[in-house]
Amino acid sequence: MTTHVKTILSSICLIGVFCATTASAVDQAAAAANLAAVSAISVQANANLSTNALSGDVDGIADWGDRCDALDAVAAQAAEAYARIESELASGNEDEAQSAYDDLKTALENAKNAFGGIIPPINPVDPKDDGKKNSAGGPGRPYDPPNMYDVPWNSQNMRDFYQSHFGNFWMSGIAPRDQEATPE
Amino acid sequence: MNKHSLAIGLVFAVLAGGVTVHSTYAQEAEVSVADEANIALAAAEQEVEKARVAIEKGKELIAQIPEDSPLMPDVAQVVQAASDNWKIATDSLKGAKESAAKITTASSEAIANDYALLAKVNAGVALSGAKVVQIAIVYVEAIATDKSEALDIIRTTMQDALASSSQVQFNYERVKTLIAQKYSK
């Protein structure tokens, strides 16, 4: 009889463990819905920016421009969090997936805040990160997600760099110059 | 024997209590998702209506633009984008309403939750499409009223909005596929 009771109790424990595991499972569909919500907020912010541009409200343009930029950054964070959920679930790391899901929920909250004008502050610059090359979020922001709209080769610094580079190359005499093509 | 029965009874009672608490939370969550779906649906309906009004205004604005205007190809492109997104917005709104109608008649809480999620995301697609239509009409208005200084900004917002709107659509398809996978197992 005691064995019977033990069997029942262990079954109950197993059911309990199963229920606990099911309850903590990350809902990937809900995560994708959150990701969609972030993008939908971004569309609305862009619509507001266009209305301000039409009315010629300079302050409004600056304000909504900042909000749109902040939303771009948040969208990148959200996409990164979703990618983490996918990879962690694929490798069976339930806790890590849950942590990524929480990050995605935070990104959605940040998106709502950015739309409402509460723009998250730029991360303080760590002196050791100054001048660090290949920084994802630009100089001094190495751990931020990259701005996908940034066109690095279109910056004045890059233009100056290539022009001086070409100047040096020209002066070195290796570049084709005004000389006869057939020396003979 | 009686002691054992009592112990088993107690364990079952505790477990049953736990399950009841768990299902109460699930019910609360379901109500919350269903509410969110209804709010999203109402917002989408409102924006689609605004887009409908904007399209009517857009027809008058296009008539004001001279036919030989150098920006006419831009207008044609923007109107095409507006037309595509109008179709997306109206189709998605219809789909969202259909999903929302199934929330209350679903056979289980889990299915009701999934219908609510589908309705919410589809309403997001409708809202995004409607907003893109509105931006397109703002662009036409800027050309018609000769506000060329605003065109660059509006053109950029249109591109960004189209990119984000396609992300919303992509994620809706993702949600649909994930939910379908859940029930095909």
Statement to judge: residues B81 and B129 lie in one domain: yes
CB B86 within 8 A of CB B133: yes
Query: What domain range includes position B22?
Result: 1-30
Of A23, A30, A47, the CB nearest to B161: A47
Identity of the highest mean pLDDT range in A159-163, A176-180, B129-133? B129-133
Q: CA B28, B33, B35, B36 torsion: positive or negative?
A: positive
Q: Nearest-CA residue of chain B relative to A20?
A: B22
Statement to judge: residues B93 and B152 lie in one domain: yes
Statement to judge: residues B117 and B171 lie in one domain: yes
Of B4, B19, B147, the CB nearest to A54: B147
**Given this model, what pLDDT does residue A14 score?**
43
- Interval A63-93: pLDDT, tens: 999 999 999 999 999 999 999 999 999 999 9
Statement to judge: residues B95 and B147 lie in one domain: yes
d(CA A146, CA A137): 5
Question: If you average pLDDT over residues A117-135, what whole number do you get?
Answer: 62
**Given this model, what pLDDT does residue A151 score?**
65
pLDDT at A1 over 80: no
**Given this model, what pLDDT does residue A103 score?**
94
> Residue A134's pLDDT band (boundaries 50, 70, 90)?
low
Statement to judge: residues B15 and B61 lie in one domain: no
> Residue A142's pLDDT band (boundaries 50, 70, 90)?
low
Statement to judge: residues B89 and B16 lie in one domain: no
pLDDT mean across residues, chain A:
78
**Given this model, what pLDDT does residue A19 score?**
40
Question: If you average pLDDT over residues A117-145, what whole number do you get?
Answer: 62
Statement to judge: residues B112 and B24 lie in one domain: no
**Given this model, what pLDDT does residue A146 score?**
61
- Interval A14-46: pLDDT, tens: 444 444 444 447 899 999 999 999 999 999 999
pTM over 0.90: no
d(CA A135, CA B168): 29
Statement to judge: residues B76 and B125 lie in one domain: yes
pLDDT at A179 over 70: no
**Given this model, what pLDDT does residue A181 score?**
66
**Tokens 């079952």 label which residue?**
B12
CB < 8 Å to A36, chain B: 121, 124-125, 167-168, 171-172, 175
Counted domains in chain B: 2
Statement to judge: residues B85 and B134 lie in one domain: yes
Q: Nearest-CA residue of chain B relative to A48?
A: B135
Statement to judge: residues B89 and B21 lie in one domain: no
Statement to judge: residues B129 and B157 lie in one domain: yes
Among the listed residues B128, B138, B130, the one whose alpha carbon sits nearest the alpha carbon of residue B58: B138
Tokens of residue B174, six digits: 């993702």
CB B116 within 8 A of CB B34: yes
- DSSP structural state of residue B98: H
pLDDT tens series, chain B, 185 aa = 444 554 444 444 444 444 333 333 334 444 567 888 999 999 999 999 999 999 999 999 999 999 899 999 999 999 999 999 999 999 999 999 999 999 999 999 999 999 999 999 999 999 999 999 999 999 999 999 999 999 999 999 999 999 999 999 999 999 999 999 988 86
Q: Assess A98–B contact: CB distance below 8 Å, yes or no.
A: no
CB < 8 Å to A8, chain B: 8
> Residue A163's pLDDT band (boundaries 50, 70, 90)?
confident
Statement to judge: residues B22 and B88 lie in one domain: no
Of A2, A29, A40, the CB nearest to B117: A29
**Given this model, what pLDDT does residue A168 score?**
75
